[in-house]
Structure 1
Amino acid sequence: MWKRGVGVAALAALASWGIHTLFPALPLLTVAVALGIIVAQIPAARPSLTGALAPGLSVASKRFMRLGIVLLGLKLSLVDIAGLGWTAIATTVAIVLITFAGTFWLGRWFALPGHQPLLIATGFSICGASAIGAMSGVVKAKDEETATPVALVTLCGTLAIAVLPALWHPLGLTNLQFGHWVGAGVHDVGQVVATAQIAGSAALAVAIVVKLTRVLMLAPIVAVASIVERRRHALGLSNGTGSAEEGMTKRPPIVPLFVAGFIAAALLRTLLPLPAVVLDAADFAQTAFLAMALFGLGSSVRLASLVRTGWRALIVGLLSWVLIAALAFGAVQIG
């Protein structure tokens, strides 16, 4: 039953690749989310999205997302990250933590429902929609809770592709400084590439390494969230709100399996000289998995509902976007 939904997600990923090939400035994964959002707004498509295709789209948005995140670890070489220098590493980690805490606080202050403050904070501070998917899997967020953060991080990341290059020269940044700013301030890896490549290959290389330093923060932050979730379940049991058997089955692991896989993949890339063909194959598979997953997530977005009820989330997303861009600019000046 799930095969039809997975097949549709695969076709959408293929279509996203075709659009990206024709228009290289459009990141493939951003296109995949956008396609999902567009399809979800077509009235004739909604019965299928919520009916026959739903099981397969759920498989894509959850299981394929986790597989893609594991393979994302193979992009991380701790040697390359160490090459940034301790000042750059420390400021990048500080940006992630401050943005995460600040965005979470804003989400609470604007009274966003459920897990939305946590998911928006994760997506904007670390690595966009893929980070939202990772955190969603740990806290067992509902699809409707995940849809709004995905739409917001896609919107703001797409805006960054146009806005940051326009500010490059007025702010007096060199090519390398611009690359650092983009890597520290733009959400998704594909959006970072699309934004930084206009400043040349050296700026792009700096942007990618800084960005992957932020991606490395996904593991500890998700692991901490998992520990908090376990304690929340334990507290619920002690208060008599659930049975012991229910609590044991619902408790997330201390370190989710896909996060352990992500760490193992990063260590493998760092410690072993992997052949280029292996890295290329892993990169292709990771992109395919994430494209299908993000199409699935995008297909649960209902823009009409978002416009009516999501204005507070939109404000939080825009404020978070400004916060991380300002912090990243400050880090560039320090560096």
Structure 2
Amino acid sequence: MTMYKTVEFYKGLLLMFFITVLAYSLSLLPILSLIGPLAIAILIAVIYRNVFQYPESLRSGIQFSSKIILRIAIILYGIRLNIKMIVDEGFPLLFRASLVILFTLFMTFLIGRMLGVDNRLLLLLASGTGICGAAAIGAVSSILDSDEEDTAMAIGMISCLGTLFALVAPLIASITHMTPEIYGQWVGFSLHEIAQALLAGSSFGNESLTPAILSKLSRVLLLFPVTILIVMILSFTNKESKKKVSFPYFVLGFVALSIIGTIFLENGIMSLSFQSYVASIATFLLTVAMAAVGMSVDLKKFNRDALKPIFTLLLTSVALSLFVWIIVI
């Protein structure tokens, strides 16, 4: 009997969906709305795991959520990416997005290695910070076959810290007298998640929101070449290893849906409301996957070393904000 025919499989799926619905409900509350359902789902799952222990009988449904549903979510996430908008802005936009990713990788590994943080966790943090938060971490973790505890830690830290930066950004803009356009580019190139860039970018209306969206989407577009580059590097460095590096075929789906979505949107076949609907489904499924990832976190294994990746992410994010401010003014 395959896992798809077992009652336990569907119970595991149902538990992850229940946690997700609960997270969305809690995110409607005043303070928790700032954190967002994704981080809340991870937190609920971690609490469940450490209070009631891991439900071994439901493992098949939970692992399906953390792997298959995660890949589906990343593919659907591609609907957010309007390639034409980025192409219209030309090479300078993509060039600066590339600089942002390279700088983030450099700073994350520079600081992280000095603090003794594991390289795989550093790559997850760098990907999430430099590209597009949880979606990038999910894609890279699939390639690395990362420990789910590391994945949950990286996503949780980026969700919380990125939200904090998004809330502080308008205050910094007012103090430094940034123009709306410069401010939009600044938050678009420096904040981690699309939702965070939209939250901060909307502070000064469409004048800041439009450049924020374009800047952020230019980084999302680079998810595909970055993941392919990681596969190539790992394949080269692991030549003597019997374990082959898995190719992220689901990222091809992400690119394909981006292209299809852009063509349909530009030709009036697809409406903005439908695009938003599909994007909402992607976010929901991503939250389901993150709930499953959170179920693997055993707090008993955490110690003072958990402070090192947090400190790495904090310093990298501050350095990235300063770097982006330099290249956009």
TM-score when scaled to structure 1? Answer: 0.85
Look up the match of 1:16: 23
Asked whether the equivalents of residues 42 and 156 of structure 2 are also in contact (C-alpha less than 8 Å), the reply is: no
Structure 1 residues 181 and 251: alpha-carbon distance in aligned structure 2, compared to 1, 3 A threshold: closer
Asked whether the equivalents of residues 75 and 266 of structure 1 are also in contact (C-alpha less than 8 Å), the reply is: yes
Structure 2 distance, partners of 1:52, 1:15, is 22
Asked whether the equivalents of residues 183 and 210 of structure 1 are also in contact (C-alpha less than 8 Å), the reply is: yes
Which residue of 40, 43, 46 corresponds with 1:37? 43
Structure 2 distance, partners of 1:199, 1:145, is 36
Structure 1 position 92 matched with structure 2 position 97: yes
Structure 1 position 275 matched with structure 2 position 270: yes
Tell me the CA shift for residue 223 of structure 1. 0.9
Q: Output aligned runs, 1:198-237, within 5 Å.
A: 198-236=203-241
Q: Output aligned runs, 1:185-196, within 5 Å.
A: 185-196=190-201
Tell me the CA shift for residue 176 of structure 1. 2.3
Structure 2 distance, partners of 1:332, 1:164, is 15
Tell me the CA shift for residue 66 of structure 1. 1.3
Which residue of 49, 65, 70 corresponds with 2:70? 65
Structure 1 distance, partners of 2:133, 2:235, is 25
Structure 1 distance, partners of 2:31, 2:328, is 27
Question: Could you tell me which amino acid in structure 2 is paired with residue 331 of structure 1?
Answer: I
Look up the match of 1:239: none
Structure 1 residues 121 and 60: alpha-carbon distance in aligned structure 2, compared to 1, 3 A threshold: same
Structure 1 residues 286 and 43: alpha-carbon distance in aligned structure 2, compared to 1, 3 A threshold: closer
Tell me the CA shift for residue 112 of structure 1. 1.2
Structure 1 position 310 matched with structure 2 position 311: no
Q: Please, which moves more after superposition, 84-93 or 135-144? A: 84-93
User: For structure 2, which runs of at least 5 residues remain unmatched after alignment?
Assistant: 1-7
Tell me the CA shift for residue 158 of structure 1. 1.9
Structure 2 distance, partners of 1:37, 1:325, is 27
User: For structure 1, which runs of at least 5 residues remain unmatched after alignment?
Assistant: 237-241
Structure 1 residues 32 and 171: alpha-carbon distance in aligned structure 2, compared to 1, 3 A threshold: same
Structure 2 distance, partners of 1:51, 1:87, is 51
Asked whether the equivalents of residues 49 and 298 of structure 2 are also in contact (C-alpha less than 8 Å), the reply is: no
Question: Could you tell me which amino acid in structure 1 is paired with residue 223 of structure 2?
Answer: L
Identity of aligned residues (%): 25
Look up the match of 1:105: 110
Q: Please, which moves more after superposition, 303-312 or 141-150? A: 303-312
Structure 1 position 82 matched with structure 2 position 76: no
Tell me the CA shift for residue 18 of structure 1. 3.0
Tell me the CA shift for residue 83 of structure 1. 3.2
Tell me the CA shift for residue 39 of structure 1. 4.0
Tell me the CA shift for residue 24 of structure 1. 9.8
Asked whether the equivalents of residues 74 and 282 of structure 1 are also in contact (C-alpha less than 8 Å), the reply is: yes
Structure 1 residues 289 and 33: alpha-carbon distance in aligned structure 2, compared to 1, 3 A threshold: same
Look up the match of 2:282: 286
**RMSD of aligned alpha carbons:** 2.4
Q: Please, which moves more after superposition, 67-76 or 101-110? A: 101-110
Asked whether the equivalents of residues 261 and 270 of structure 2 are also in contact (C-alpha less than 8 Å), the reply is: no
Structure 1 position 295 matched with structure 2 position 300: no
Tell me the CA shift for residue 32 of structure 1. 2.4
- After superposition, give the CA deviation of every residue in 1:277-324 in whole Å (9 maximum; x if it has no partner): 642442232122112112223343455654522121111111111121
Structure 1 residues 44 and 88: alpha-carbon distance in aligned structure 2, compared to 1, 3 A threshold: closer
Structure 2 distance, partners of 1:164, 1:302, is 34
Asked whether the equivalents of residues 104 and 316 of structure 2 are also in contact (C-alpha less than 8 Å), the reply is: yes
Asked whether the equivalents of residues 50 and 298 of structure 2 are also in contact (C-alpha less than 8 Å), the reply is: no
Question: Could you tell me which amino acid in structure 1 is paired with residue 305 of structure 2?
Answer: T
Structure 2 distance, partners of 1:43, 1:283, is 29
Structure 2 distance, partners of 1:320, 1:182, is 15
Q: Output aligned runs, 1:246-285, within 5 Å.
A: 247=243, 250-253=244-247, 256-272=248-264, 273=267, 274-276=269-271, 278-285=274-281
Asked whether the equivalents of residues 45 and 291 of structure 2 are also in contact (C-alpha less than 8 Å), the reply is: no
Question: Could you tell me which amino acid in structure 2 is paired with residue 36 of structure 1?
Answer: I
Structure 1 distance, partners of 2:139, 2:67, is 8
Look up the match of 2:163: 158
